[in-house]
Structure 1
């Protein structure tokens, strides 16, 4: 009986993994591998740059995926708010939405691109979301946005675009914009109302921009006017050259695959 018990104990011991069974390398081997890897990376530092670039691309792709989903979630607010400037056919199948600040130097460069894009795509509706993110630092940023909204609501699209383009044409950004610039861009337009009348709209735009995931200006979204799906939406968290925006418009306008 004792022999049988001993045999069973030996069998169980053989089947049970030892504490070191999962260790592929000894501590000495692991240390040596670390030294080899370190030496190799020091000799080929370009690999670290490649890994960093890959990581940044993964993070960017994840950001765009999240922002695209957010744009779809908030598409009614993005596309159908009558209180913000909207230029182009009411029945357009594609809409481009831009969040911008008149003090933003990248937005000023983007304005030139937008003018060309609008000329070449009269079938697209362009929505201009006044987002004065520099207003707390430079008051003219807020005043310019407020004036733009009032011109849009009281005088319409043509008057708004004249003001919009004239203000960016001054080249006065990053704190250089003045009330004189704003008054000159508005021209002889007689406006009614006060800044407080626009606070609700500007606050709503601020919330919307942040809900989509934008952290600064410009922020651009291109999407179908209705029936949008993730594969038809393009988000640019920053400026974009005309060719990229045109590709986004063409993608949004393309018929759905059967």
Structure 2
């Protein structure tokens, strides 16, 4: 927030005070008195600019809290699509109480950087369910983005969570993203981890799954990858939901898991 915006807010407050006086039986400030009050306030703020910084920080905190609350409401409204879609790959115990949901694209460089972070968090939190929403947003630019997502969903459907996470991590470990990941890379990864290529029929079934994930991401207000939601699976407590619209570090994810568990 800039100085002009802060002064405008303060001026609005002064006007509100004067209006309150106008509605009160007591005498109101006259024009000269209002001008003097405004000058005193402006001079004081110039002499104490730290107040403006405090006002700015407070407003930013309030805006962040409002945004977090709005995100949490949308998350709860789409809870079933986030947590109960059997076509979405997941890793973790069936009775998990906490879920970490990631929307990602294999061609996304920030998703690639997050991959080892997510892998470490998974190892440190074996009681948490990790749900992977394949969202190939770069598919119109690099078709292998779609191929990689379709292959991942097919591996999940045909072979389950262990082979899926092996595929998922192996794709990122190629180090290829931002257009460098190719169909050849995908085929070589499958061969390296000893997983047969998915059947054409299974691959064809992934198109509506990806369409649904894309629709869900837009409902949630996401416009890029990666995006994370950390939430309790059964409780409908908005205060325990955390949404990250972008890359985060291991500490932030771990803190969000603790928050979701009520700690």
Q: TM-score, normalising length from structure 2? A: 0.77
Cα deviation code 1:91-123 (max 9, x no counterpart): 111111111111111111111111111111111
Aligned-partner Cα distance in 1 for 2:173–2:262:
34
Deviation at 1:142, TM superposition (A): 1.2
Cα RMSD (Å) of the superposition? 2.7
Matches within 5 A, 1:159-198: 159-187=163-191, 188=194, 189-193=196-200, 195-198=203-206
Structure 1: where are the runs of 5+ without partners? 1-16
Cα distance between partner residues in 2 of 1:171 and 1:82: 29
Q: Secondary structure at the match of 1:137?
A: coil
Report matched runs for 1:2-151 at 5 Å: 24=29, 26=31, 52-151=56-155
Native 8 Å contact 2:139 2:146 kept in 1? yes
Contact 2:187 2:197 in 1 (8 A): no
Q: Does the 8 A contact of 2:104 with 2:225 survive in 1?
A: yes
Most deviating of 180-189 and 61-70: 180-189
- How far apart, CA to CA, are the structure 1 residues paired with 2:176 and 2:63? 34
For residues 179 and 234 of structure 1, what CA distance do their matches in structure 2 show?
A: 35
Max Rg structure: 1
- Seen in structure 2, the aligned counterparts of structure 1 residues 124 and 55 have a Cα distance that, compared at 3 Å, is same
After superposition, what is the alpha-carbon deviation per residue over 1:44-70, rounded to whole angstroms, capped at 9, x for unaligned?
Answer: 877766655544443332221111111
* Residue in structure 1 matched with residue 236 of structure 2 by the alignment: 228
Runs of 5+ consecutive residues of structure 2 not aligned to the other structure: 1-21
Cα distance in 2 between the residues matched to 1:75 and 1:58: 25
**CA–CA separation in structure 2 for the residues paired with 1:138 and 1:60:** 34
